[in-house]
Amino acid sequence: LYDNMTRSMLDTPQRYPRAGSQSYPSPAAEADADGSTTVWFGPEQPEGVARGNWIQTDPDKGWFVVLRLYSPLEPFFNKTWRPSEVELVQ
């Protein structure tokens, strides 16, 4: 998660605004029962959402998401997999 103004990682008390498959420097995101992974964005961690699946935002700052893929698998290249859009949940 990146700050609109600085283009650097968003500065929040969370320290590492990321969700990934690696457990360092923050917990890894946990997959859902169907194999998908849901990442939540918001100023407060939603109840029942694992730490690795939540990225803290700052209500006073704009932000944007960057998807980085390290060593993507074949479904990425043959286009049988694509990430979904960010969806608003209330």
* 31: containing domain: 1-90
> What is the average per-residue pLDDT within 24-30?
90
Higher pLDDT: 54 or 22? It is 54
Question: Which CATH number characterizes residue 4's domain?
Answer: 2.60.120.600
Res. 80: pLDDT tops 90: yes
Which residue, 53, 57, 18, is CA-closest to 38? 53
The count of domains in the chain is 1
2-3/63-64 β-pairing: antiparallel
Cβ pair 24, 52 in contact under 8 A:
no
Centre a 10 Å sphere on the Cβ of residue 84 and count the other Cβ atoms it contains: 7
- What is the pLDDT confidence band of residue 53, given thresholds at 50, 70 and 90? very high
Residue 26: per-residue pLDDT: 86
Q: Which helix (H) or strand (E) holds 54?
A: strand 54-56
Task: Look at residue 24 in the predicted model and tell me its pLDDT.
Answer: 87
